[in-house]
Amino acid sequence: MAYTSIHTIRATVSAAIAYITNGDKTVNGVYVSSYACRADSAGASEDFRTVRDRGTGRTKILAYHLIQSFAPGEVTPEQAMQIGEELCDRYLKGDYQYVLAVHSDRQHIHTHIIFNNTNLYNGLSFTTEHNQGKKTERAWAELRQLSDEICTEHGISVISEPEKGHGVSHFERDMQKEGKSWKEKLRVRIAEVMLYSHDFKDFLEKCSECGIEYVYKPSNKVKLKFRLSGDGQQKFTRADTLGADFTPERITEQIAEIQEKLSAANVTPDMLIEPPKPVVVPKPEPKPTQTVTTPTKPKQSAEPETITETSETAKRKAAAEQVERFFAARRARRQAQLDMLNATATKPNEPKPELPTPTPQPTPTESKAPEKKEDVWAEIRGMRDSEKMIADLETGGITSLNDLRGFFWNFKHPDDHTDELAKLRAKIEPIDKLIAMMEQHSQNYAIYKEYQERSAFTQKSFRKKNAAAIDAFEEADKYIAEHIKPYYIKGKPPKLSDLQAMSAKLKEKYNALVPEHNVFLRRKAAASQYSRQVRKYLDDQRQQERNRQYQERKRSQQRKNDTLE
């Protein structure tokens, strides 16, 4: 899924280009390209200025900064660069200098494009040529459409047109992250109620049964409001703030669409989903000043569940949990019914006459032509000494060019366990040190005990004879007292056997990672011999292809101009 944005640069073009071409973000400049200018910040900004000096000089906008972001794992840096270059070709049409850089230092790959605001050929600004007139006719309005077209051609998802509605406040966003948003809960529950409603009137009735209070006044400006019963929501939420799909008109339309689809499948909502049982919600004490009319009180069962809690918060929490259990059970039933419906949908409605069982015939085996094995090194076969290089890489454990590309970037390789091994060592070493001190403590305990039991008159001479053992005991005793607390088990100090078991478990994890990590180190060493050479070759090939395409476009444009003349 690609997201595209654009903004102006009115000062420090060189600083902006220096940021996007940073070697830490672009794998030392591998994913940087340029058109009609140099690719470094100083050279590109100087080339931009040279062209800008030939212009009118009236515009205050020096350049434009375009950003194209992709979802994590959706594209490779090479694909992002190709998409970015195609976007520049269609958007700028070869009339403006640009520097393009793909950043691969984060989980989501994104492309930065900075292009000069001055036309290479006529000196007019991009703002004057393309950003005049109605907003829908300006170039930046065309940007997203072009980006979506290119992404679709490359099989990458695009963002659907967002519905017009209210924005989301910072508070609401924080509540969504914490899973406490009333609006989000209301959207989920209302959408589920729509699935088994026959019409809008039936929808309102089922809202009451499912723990959703409502106020519906068609003559008012705010026609419909909702509130969750028993969840602690104090105020009603306007339907239009939930989104364009939650207004009375849209709810009615969506219910009709659902009914139409169910009718086509000969299914009714009652068949698809078991009608909900009434949810018992404690009625809060009414406030004297409250003017909002509450919906019809849901019918309570003859024997409601007894709530022993006396506080209002506990009552609301119990009711909310009951509603959640109801929805979870109904979702499971609905999924089971849908699975059964899908399984039977392929069967014809009319019964077929029984046919006699045919005599089984031997099935002839089809002979398939042997599949041609794909050359995983095809892109670099044209390099000098490619056969030797490929042999060295395969000997080192690199099985293909795509495998080699995994060592081009700054991403953490899945087989690289450097951090995990370091963390395990950091845990193992203090435990082993503590074990050694406990053993030292135990070995010298008898001598130290005898030392303590002696009289003050003989202690001095005894300590002089056994100074090493007594000092070792005191050292171990002090170390244990200072370092054993983090390893307490249920508030009690661990035994020596407990620490030994901890150490053995950690060492088992450590030893399990070491073989895979050693293989990674060998593969990394093999890849590092040729990574720079291969990257440069592939980059040169891409640049040659871009130059060829550009020349082809220019020739095509020249032929069109000659035809018109």
Nearest CA-CA partner of 383 in 518, 231, 537: 537
Q: Which two tokens stand for residue 58?
A: 């009236």
CB contact at 8 A, 112 and 43: no
Please write the tens of the pLDDT for every residue from 281-324. 444 444 444 433 434 444 444 344 433 444 555 655 665 566 56
Quick one: DSSP state of residue 111?
E
CA–CA separation, 45 and 118 (whole Å): 13
Fold of the domain built from segment(s) 2-153: BirA Bifunctional Protein; domain 2 (3.30.930)
**C-alpha torsion angle, residues 308, 310, 316, 317 (rounded to 10):** -60
Sheet of strand 212-216: strand arrangement: 212-216, 224-228, 237-238
Q: Give the DSSP H or E segment for 115.
A: strand 110-116
Nearest CA-CA partner of 182 in 224, 237, 222: 237
Q: Which two tokens stand for residue 322?
A: 């009951």
pLDDT of res. 273: 46
pLDDT of res. 333: 63
CB contact at 8 A, 538 and 379: yes
Residues of the chain with CATH 3.30.930.30: 2-153
pLDDT of res. 340: 60
Q: Which two tokens stand for residue 413?
A: 């390789």
| Prediction pTM value | 0.35
Quick one: DSSP state of residue 231?
S
CA–CA separation, 333 and 327 (whole Å): 10
Q: What string of pLDDT tens digits covers the 565 residues of the chain?
A: 577 888 889 888 999 999 999 988 898 888 999 999 999 999 999 999 999 988 878 888 999 999 998 888 888 999 999 999 999 998 998 889 999 999 988 778 899 999 999 998 888 898 888 876 666 667 767 888 888 889 888 888 765 544 444 555 544 555 554 554 667 788 878 887 887 788 999 889 888 887 888 899 988 888 899 888 766 667 888 888 888 888 899 899 988 888 887 777 665 555 544 444 444 444 444 444 443 343 444 444 434 443 344 455 565 566 556 656 666 666 666 566 556 655 554 444 444 444 445 455 555 454 455 555 678 888 888 888 888 889 988 888 888 888 888 787 656 677 888 888 999 999 999 999 999 999 999 999 999 998 888 888 888 888 888 999 999 999 999 999 999 999 998 888 999 999 999 999 999 999 998 888 888 888 888 888 888 888 888 888 888 888 888 888 888 888 877 777 6
pLDDT of res. 115: 95
Which amino acid would we find at residue 150? I
Q: Give the DSSP H or E segment for 68.
A: strand 63-70
Which amino acid would we find at residue 131? N
Q: Which two tokens stand for residue 490?
A: 């249920």
Calculate the alpha carbon distances from 122 to 95, 126, 364, 373, 508 in Å: 9, 11, 71, 52, 71
| DSSP structure string for 343-400 | HHHTS-SSPPPP-PPPPP-PPPPPPPPPPPPP-TTGGGTTSTTHHHHHHHHHHTT--S
Q: Phi then psi for 386, rounded to 5 degrees?
A: -65, -35
